[in-house]
A and B are shown apart, each in its own frame.
Chain A
């Protein structure tokens, strides 16, 4: 007799919960091993939260963000239904529609909520005040867009990744945007002072002003954001992007071990049996919350475990790479910002470029790359793979080797190839020319040059033009 498929209940239909269902269905398409039920409080089907700034910018529309419908006979998704509690002893989940689910395995993917800093006037009646909004879900996005009028001033509270992506997107819509960041520099966790300064200049050129080292004191609807130094940032609306807090209420109520997030080990297990946590709500010893990539990696590992397709799969913490998604700004930050390491720094304030590469034992341990798109792509891969960096560190940044190392011809200097298709060298052409082939057609007849793709016609014509046509013909002996 085959075993009854185990029932896996997932609380949270966000990017990570939905991804887990997709990964499970891919590993067990017929639902022979697991039956998955996902419950999500939002009425919308799962969507890519990461792309909300693109929605603000107008590049994408709401339906463009939807996740793939999870295929598989054994996956049920219930949207608009929130879990109100779960009981690890009885293995049951209570839902706000009065229903109860029994589980064999429970996956907490409750995510996080936007943090609202203690700024006077920012909240009203338990929610954001008029003109204020966070940017966490589609409803927030609609609210922000509802506030935005072309040319109207907007304040963004928070100069981190989301704040800057939001600011850039609103600027692309024509808003005048001011970012307020309490730390002394933008993206304080990912950048050093020099990089942040150049980034601020770059953003200003794109229509985003940044005030750093300043705390908001009060939101005054209709006026703007009053800062701690008494200055008023005039703004019709304010978007709060001041970090997130793991949504841990259900876990706390159920008695799970919780710190900043729900504590999990390498198997994504919580302190309660048969209860797992992934994504922003989880706290793994090696960090990784706040970005979607670690959550998706955790979803894949947990799907391996719960479907039994890879019982030894483990999440070991991922290398964190921060990539700003803001049109016109190419910024990557990874690893340690101020590493004790061999460090190569290249600062070009005039060109608004900055690169810092930190290497230890031939491995990348940190990098900040502003305006170096090719190098960023390459260095990110070296960092992700733990692969050794090339001896020429500068070439890695500049994208080509300077000076060019001697390339590939073991027999010595390669003769200049003119016609690749037929392997005809310049020397062969000049020999033929000396023997009387004084037109392109004659050279083609003698050497086959130009008879392949035809790409060397120009080169052959140039040689003909350069050679002295009055030189006598050499009759081959």
Chain B
């Protein structure tokens, strides 16, 4: 029996992995602050993936497109990839090779992947799927606080709250054990849908505000306006600990609740009531999730929520605050150590000369050899196989054929590559397109560290041996780096050695891990970063000062604007996408768990019965949901409580049921987040 953490979301619930009677493995919950001894259905069934018959156990190689991949040995596969990469670099330069990572990779993998790109490949072309996840909240958090740590306080602090505003976060489905921390608070759920979380709020003396998708920013401005008119602002806090309120207010001044009502569809009376509920709470939190962040104005929208929290004096004291609910398992750690186009380890900026000098020193390379910032995730994918873009892609821990916006466009770009290399445990939809597939270990087959939604570093432990033929991601990077002429010691395959190096590379940065050691983690110490060598962890940031040089939090003056694509006569409805309890992300793992697949076997579209009837849809029949970019097949589910103008689809499904076939890749100007959550669509029955 091994004590480890769940393979899925950023809550990183603790679990035991133990042999099951059928020869496989089973999981059961363990006591831990985030999950308090609970698990959702995904966690309970995670063990079935360890014995899955779908596992990839041998490298696959095809030298001709269209030919079936053939099993090869590891040396053949690694030699082939290294040879092709070397040739491409010589022919077309270092940036002809790109790397794409994921927010589920351990800290060690994220770190080594970034180093591999910058040192072994010398390419600037690296980014990861976290760009589709946390980037808007991260950018807004940096702007406001000078530091981006999802929750700058332990999850358990939420239990002290009297009121919590959840903006675009459906935690009852996406991270159910978190709900256990919210039982004492009245919830204000901001979501266009009557989600499970919204239902919970309504059943427990809370509120549900259902704005038209794409108008959250106007709603947040309206709430700030109402809060000021109701006399709820914390003038002392504003004066002593913040800057920039006046400029931010002048935009909110024009969003009196009745005007916000007209744009958002949320009643002015509810805007006022919500402002009072949050503003009068002795302890209150504002928490954001993907629903409010995944927009072409996601960064400004999160800034508007932070402005509200700051105006009420929530951040910077115990029992209150602002936080972003990280999605992917290592969404936090994954954005700190260098797999992001503009970053170096320790949450350092790649265009900061001091940061470059420090990291280059740890890596033993001249600073000027480190490439500069590269393309953001969607821009990188969209450039693949084009004249100016990369010709080869090495992809770990991601499945963009399902998860990227405008997914068929991305699929075509992947198909245009000279070389696609994918490391995965299963034959994901993206791995199916690859020229080379490396079969790699899963979570319980390897050691490593993860950083959960509260910035706490956790040790994920090996609970069982991987199937014969399977190697770790670190082994893949090691094998390729050596073949590309790097010294073996530069790319260790041992996670503890990588962690030690990561610690040195992050030392002195915002996300300083130099004090994080396997021994301290094993002893059960709660190590929230920053954790310099010898220092204790930092569970609560900002109690004394914020991260900017003057110690103050900064308001950002933001203004509402329309979604990048608004409905018209041809595409009269708004589609929004999201998650269901029984599936995770692109479903590459959870769709292979029989119990979960039985619970949610296929894509569906939630639609108001009247809206459905106008399009000729019937409950339980199939619909085609179409935008200017593509069409998705989905089973019709009537929801009498749905907005008339909005349909919802989960995005976990494959093939012609991919919701991302219709989503809009319009990007946020700051975070480069695509607009997953609002685009114009039309409905038609699909009986074929």
Binding site for B on A (CB under 8 A): 48, 50-51, 54, 59-60, 63-69, 293, 321, 323, 325, 330, 373-374, 376-378, 380-382, 384-385, 387-388, 390-392, 400-401, 404-408, 410-411, 420-423, 448, 451-455
Partner of B269 from the list A69, A373, A391 (CB cut-off 8 Å) is A373
Question: Contacts A376-B267, A455-B183 hold; do A401 and B640 have CB atoms under 8 A apart?
Answer: yes
Could you tell me the distance in whole angstroms from the C-beta of A120 to the nearest C-beta in chain B?
A: 37
Given contacts A388-B610, A453-B177, whether A330 and B268 have CB atoms under 8 Å apart is yes
List which B486-540 residues lie within 8 A (CB) of chain A. none
CB distance from B258 to the nearest CB of A (A): 4
Tell me whether B620 and A68 are in contact (CB under 8 A): no
CB-contact partner of A453 in B176, B256, B265, under 8 A:
B176
**Is the pair B253, A65 in contact by a Cβ cutoff of 8 Å?**
yes
Interface string of B577-590 (1 = CB under 8 A from A): 00001100000000
Chain B's nearest CB lies how many Å from the CB of A27?
12
Q: Do residues B254 and A453 form an inter-chain contact, with CB atoms below 8 A?
A: no
Assess whether A384 is in contact with B262, with CB atoms less than 8 Å apart. yes
User: Are B610 and A391 in contact, with the CB atoms below 8 A?
Assistant: yes
**Chain B residues, CB < 8 A from A374:** 267, 270
B608-664 at interface with A (beta carbon < 8 Å): 608-610, 613-614, 619-621, 635-641, 644-645
Number of interface residues of B (CB under 8 A): 66
Does B127 sit at the interface, judged by CB under 8 A?
A: no
Provide the residues of chain B in CB contact with A455, threshold 8 Å: 172, 179-180, 183, 200
User: Per a CB cutoff under 8 Å, which of A48, A59, A377 touches B254?
Assistant: A48
Q: Does B599 contact A (CB under 8 A)?
A: yes
Q: B613 to chain A: which residues have CB within 8 Å?
A: 391
A400 surroundings in chain B (CB, below 8 A): 641
CB distance from A352 to the nearest CB of B (A): 14
Tell me whether A381 and B229 are in contact (CB under 8 A): no
Contacts of B24 in A (CB 8 A): none
CB within 8 A of B250: which of A66, A325, A382, A405?
A66
Query: What's the dominant secondary structure at chain A's contact region?
Result: loop
Would you list 11 pairs from A and B whose C-beta atoms are within 8 A, ordered by A residue? A64-B249, A67-B250, A68-B557, A373-B269, A377-B268, A388-B614, A391-B613, A408-B638, A422-B40, A423-B582, A455-B180
Q: Are A68's CB and B250's CB within 8 A? A: yes
Closest-by-CB residue of B relative to A57 is: B229
With both beta carbons as reference points, the residue of chain B lying nearest to A327 in the complex is identified as: B272
Any A CB within 8 A of the CB of B363: no
- Taking the nearest CB of chain A, how far is it from the CB of B182, in angstroms? 9
The total of interchain contacts (Cβ-Cβ below 8 angstroms) comes to 156
Given A54-B229, A423-B582, A453-B176, output 17 extra A-B contacts at Cβ < 8 Å.
A48-B253, A60-B228, A64-B253, A325-B258, A330-B267, A330-B268, A373-B268, A377-B266, A377-B268, A384-B262, A390-B644, A405-B609, A407-B638, A420-B581, A421-B41, A421-B176, A454-B38
Chain B: minimal CB distance from A58 (Å): 9
Contacts of A378 in B (CB 8 A): 265, 644
B:458-505 near A, CB below 8 Å: none
Residues of A within 8 A of B582 (CB): 423
- Residues of chain A contacted by B610 (CB below 8 angstroms): 388, 390-392
Would A408 and B637 be within 8 Å (CB), given that A325-B258, A420-B172 are in contact? yes
Q: Are B250 and A404 in contact (CB under 8 A)?
A: no
Evaluate contact between A452 and B38: CB separation under 8 angstroms. yes
> Contacts A69-B247, A423-B41, A451-B37: A408 and B267 contacting too (C-beta < 8 A)?
no
Bound complex: CA of A378 vs CA of B645, how far in Å? 10
Smallest beta-carbon distance B216→chain A, Å: 15
Given contacts A64-B249, A323-B261, A422-B44, contact A59 B230 (CB under 8 A): yes
**Cβ of B16 < 8 Å from any Cβ of A?**
no
Cβ of B417 within 8 Å of any chain A Cβ, yes or no, is no
- In the A-B complex, the 10 residue pairs with the smallest Cβ-Cβ separation, listed nearest first, are A410-B620, A453-B179, A421-B176, A373-B267, A68-B250, A373-B269, A452-B176, A59-B229, A377-B267, A323-B258
Q: Decide: A422 and B638 in contact? CB cutoff 8 A.
A: no
Give chain A residues whose Cβ lies under 8 Å from the Cβ of B196: 420
Is the Cβ of B179 less than 8 Å from the Cβ of A454?
Answer: yes
Complex-state Cα separation, A66 to B619, whole angstroms: 51
- Per-residue CB proximity of B152-190 to A under 8 Å, as 1/0? 000000000000000000001100111110010000000
Nearest residue (CB) in B for A71 is: B557
Q: B409 within 8 Å of A by Cβ?
A: no
- B39 at the A/B interface (Cβ < 8 Å)? yes
- Taking the nearest CB of chain A, how far is it from the CB of B343, in angstroms? 28
User: In the bound complex, what is the Cα–Cα distance between A271 and B262 (angstroms)?
Assistant: 33
Which residue of chain A has the shortest Cβ distance to B599 in the bound complex? A423
Q: For residue B592, which residues in chain A have a CB less than 8 angstroms away from its CB?
A: none
Contacts A422-B41, A448-B41 hold; do A377 and B261 have CB atoms under 8 A apart?
yes
A330 to B273, CA, bound (A): 13
Task: Give the interface centre of A60, A69, A408 by most chain B CB atoms within 10 Å.
Answer: A408
**How many Å lie between the Cα of A292 and that of B440 in the bound state?**
61
Give Cα A380 to B267, complex, Å: 10
B570 to chain A, nearest CB (A): 14
Q: Are B644 and A452 in contact (CB under 8 A)?
A: no
Per-residue A-contact encoding for B210-247, CB less than 8 Å = 1, 0 else: 00100000000000000011110000000000000011
- Report if B71 contacts A (CB, 8 A): no
Q: Which residues of A contact B641 (CB under 8 A)?
A: 400
A64/B29 contact (C-beta < 8 A), A51-B256, A423-B599 known:
no
The answer to whether A387 touches B645 (Cβ under 8 A) is yes
> In the docked arrangement, what's the CA distance between A51 and B253, Å?
9
Minimum CB–CB distance from A357 to chain B (whole Å) comes to 14
> Using Cβ atoms and an 8 Å threshold, which residues of chain B touch A66?
250, 253
- Point out the residues of chain B lying under 8 angstroms from A405, CB to CB: 609, 638, 640
Q: How far is the CB of B209 from chain A (nearest CB, A)?
A: 10
Closest to A64 in B: B253
B234 to chain A, nearest CB (A): 16
A423 surroundings in chain B (CB, below 8 A): 41, 581-582, 599
Q: Are A452 and B39 in contact (CB under 8 A)?
A: yes
Question: Closest B-chain residue to A450, C-beta based?
Answer: B38
Report if B280 contacts A (CB, 8 A).
no
Nearest B-chain residue to A391, judged by Cβ: B610
B69 within 8 A of A: no
* Contact partners of B547 in chain A: CB under 8 A: none
Q: Complex formed: what's the CA distance from A407 to B639 in Å?
A: 6
Which residue of the partner chain, among A377, A385, A410, A451, contacts B619 with CB atoms under 8 Å? A410
Q: Does B146 contact A (CB under 8 A)?
A: no
Is A452 a contact partner of B41 (Cβ separation < 8 A)?
yes
Q: Which residue of B lies closest to A378 (CB)?
A: B265
Which of B39, B256, B270, B636 is the one whose CB lies under 8 Å from A50?
B256
Q: Is the CB of B41 within 8 A of A410?
A: no
Q: Which residue of B lies closest to A54 (CB)?
A: B229
User: Roughly how many angstroms separate A406 CA and B612 CA in the complex, as a whole number?
Assistant: 14
Q: Is the CB of B179 within 8 A of A60?
A: no
Give the complex CA separation of A376 and B262 in angstroms: 9
Q: A388-B610, A410-B619 are in contact. Are A60 and B262 (CB under 8 A)?
A: no
Complex alpha-carbon distance, A82 and B572, angstroms: 46
Contact among B179, B183, B247 for A68, CB-based, below 8 A? B247
Instruction: Find the A residue at minimum CB distance from B173.
Output: A420
Q: Which residues of A contact B44 (CB under 8 A)?
A: 422, 448, 451
Tell me, yes or no, whether B84 is within 8 Å of chain A by CB: no
A381 — which chain B residues lie within 8 A by C-beta? 212, 262, 265, 645
Q: Which residue of B lies closest to A330 (CB)?
A: B269
CB proximity of B608 to chain A, nearest CB, Å: 7
Report chain A residues within 8 Å CB of B40. Answer: 421-422, 452-453
In the complex, what residues of B have CB within 8 A of residue A51's CB? 253, 256
Kindly state the separation between the CA atoms of A470 and B582 in the bound complex, as whole angstroms: 36
Residues of the A chain whose Cβ atoms lie less than 8 Å from the Cβ of B619: 406, 408, 410
B84 to chain A, nearest CB (A): 45
